[in-house]
Amino acid sequence: MNLHGILRCGIIILSLNLSSFAYAHEVVQLQTIEEFDKEGKPLPINKISRDLLSYIEKSLKVRFEVKRVPWKRALDNALHHDIVLMGMSYTKERAKRYAFSDPINANGNWLVTLCDATFKFDRICDLKGKLIGIVRGTSAGEEFDQHMHVLFRVENDVGAGISRLKKLMAKRMDAIVWYGVTGNHREMQETLNKNYAALSQSFGHAEQSAFCVLPKPIAIVNNHFAMRISPSNQDLLNRINQAIAKGRKEGAIPPMQATNLD
């Protein structure tokens, strides 16, 4: 084989290798809600979410480029670009614009009040006339969403994090919706008070139990990956579903936990 033939073969092999490398590192833009620590610094996503994304990356031969941004901005971005949203709950209204994966986890939408200004909550009508703090762009369940600005008023926060409790401490609202785990509300109450004490030492020594989490959540919602509706995006979500199902079968991804509202 002459020099020209050798070079030509080398170029072909190099092109194939580069093509394979590019496929193995297909970049997928992913955005999720931003959260802040007690000092107001952005938090990275938690270990469970990192492990989930890592498993999907290996299974699908992709690389997620993760950004944490205000949730309303993430929703808007995903309507204009092929961005995966992580942690989006399903509503009929959202389903008109976004395609959803199978559930990836669940969270409770809990009401947090000052302990000296708590109230009984059994049904959505118990919120009549109250001012409730929510994170802009989030859903606390379809029933809650339908009654916003009708039965009760809401005040929007841009980001999620422990600093939201400052507004409640200042009595600017009756309660805030806290997007937490689906388990024991008393454990979550203890954690919130501990974290707030660390946030503000001036209150920490005197306000150890300032906040109460009401026993009944507004709703328990499943969270999903979501993208704007298109055939190619649906195909990616289907591939993600297959990876999640395989991971759960293997035990690499935790199973969904059932939660009873009663």
Distance CA 172, CA 113 (A): 11
Residues 77 and 112 in one domain: no
Tell me, what's the pLDDT at 172? 92
Cα–Cα distance for residue pair 29/10, rounded to 1 Å = 33
128: closest CA among 111, 152, 109, 107?
152
Host domain of residue 233: 3-105+223-250
Pairing of strands 175-180, 131-135: parallel
- What tokens appear for 102 in the block? 């199978």
pLDDT of residue 107: 86
Locate 41 and state its tokens. Answer: 């610094």
Largest CA distance in the chain: 88
Same domain, 87 and 150: no
The share of the chain scoring above pLDDT 90, in percent, equals 61
Q: What pLDDT is recorded for position 23?
A: 47
How are beta strands 131-135 and 105-114 bridged, if at all? unpaired
What's the token pair of residue 118?
């708590």
Question: What pLDDT is stored for residue 8 in this prediction?
Answer: 56
One domain, residues 196 and 157: yes
Strand partners, 240: none
Domain count, the chain: 2
Task: Please give the share of the chain, as a percent, with pLDDT higher than 70.
Answer: 82
54 falls within a domain? yes
Q: What is the DSSP letter of 149?
A: T
Task: Check: pTM over 0.75? Answer yes or no.
Answer: yes
What one-character DSSP code corresponds to residue 152?
Answer: B
Q: Are residues 115 and 244 in the same domain?
A: no
Mean of the per-residue pLDDT values for the chain? 85
Residue ranges in the chain modelled with pLDDT below 70: 1-24, 38, 182, 200-208, 257-262
According to the model, what pLDDT value does residue 179 have?
Answer: 85
On whether the CB atoms of residues 116 and 171 are closer than 8 A, the answer is: no
Residues 51 and 114 in one domain: no
Token digits of residue 162: 């422990």
Which structure tokens are listed for 92?
């009929």
The pLDDT, as a whole number, for residue 6 is 47
Among residues 97, 102, 64, 96, the alpha carbon closest in space to that of 83 is found at 64
52 shares its domain with 122: no
Q: What are the tens digits of pLDDT across the range 204-237?
A: 455 567 899 999 999 999 999 999 999 999 999 9
Please give the pLDDT value at position 161.
73
Query: Can you tell me the distance from the alpha carbon of 144 to that of 135, in angstroms, rounded to the nearest whole number?
Result: 13
